[in-house]
Structures are given as C-alpha cells and as structure tokens.
Amino acid sequence: MSNMSPKEFKHILVGVDDSDDAQLAFRYAMNRAKTDGAKLTIVSILEHDNMNVYEAMSKDYVHGQRKDLEDHVLSYRKLALDFGITDVHVVVDEGDPGETIVKDVIPAVKPDLLVIGSISKKGVRRYFGSQAAYMAKHAPISVLVIR
C-alpha cells in the first residue's frame, strides 16, 4: 500500500452533553473536521429516563429541557463556526442516546465518523458515557471514543 496517509473523513458526527468529556470529544471533532475539510454535525439526545414521573408527564418540563438542550447545542455550533468550520449542523432528538444515534441519527445524517466521550457524567444524567460501548459495537461507521 503506497498511500500511507490516514483516512480522511467527509462528515463527522459528534455527540455532546454537558460533561467535561463531551468537551474533549467536541474539541477533537472540531479539529478533525477542520483538518479534513469535513462537514460537522453536533448531536445531543434528551433522555427521558432522567426525569421523574411527574416531570415526564409535564409537557412544559420536557419542552423546557429540550429548549435548554437545543440552546446548548447551538452554543457548540457557534464555537465550531468561530473555529472556522464552514458546514456545521445540529440535531436534537429524544430517547435512549445510544439507540437513537445508531438507529435514527446515523441513517438520517449519513456521517462517516462518530466521535463520542467515554466517561459517564456524575449524578442522574449518564448521557453518552454508558452508551459509548453500545455505539462503538452497533454503529455502521467508524467510532472514536475520546478519553
């Protein structure tokens, strides 16, 4: 094999939450997107199992949670645009993060690399940490778990 340069990715999907680890994953994804001239899609999933029964039944609560998550993801998008990545998209969905990303987001967005953090967030919001192994095993594309 004469061409020893690493694989270049055309479309990077990065999963974010509000853990330090997601920041690491996001920074890696931004740098990689810039280096490869790739499109960047930022995804965050609203997990319903973090809510108690009363909260889950309250549309206002769920709507508020989702709005907070959307604002959070849009702030990541602004960081990426300021960093010089021209093609940046965001996806906010609801459900089980690993399954939602593997079964819904990846087929819809069609990225060729998924970047996620590995460490579970403390407290009730596990987010992607515990889901990293699931995504690495089941995703039909390359998965990079940042530690």
pLDDT recorded at residue 50? 64
Q: pLDDT tens digit string along 24-34?
A: 899 999 999 99
Its pTM stands at 0.86
Work out whether the CA dihedral 23, 68, 91, 39 comes out positive or negative: negative
HSE-CB of 133 using CA atoms within 13 angstroms? 3
Query: Phi, psi at residue 9, to the nearest 5°?
Result: -100, 145
CATH architecture of 35-141: 3-Layer(aba) Sandwich (3.40)
Tell me what the mean pLDDT of segment 99-108 comes to.
96
Work out whether the CA dihedral 14, 113, 145, 52 comes out positive or negative: positive
pLDDT recorded at residue 90? 97
Residue 109 to residue 106: CA distance in whole angstroms:
5
Q: Where are the domains of the chain?
A: 35-141
Q: pLDDT tens digit string along 19-77?
A: 666 788 999 999 999 999 999 999 999 887 666 777 767 888 888 888 988 998 999 99
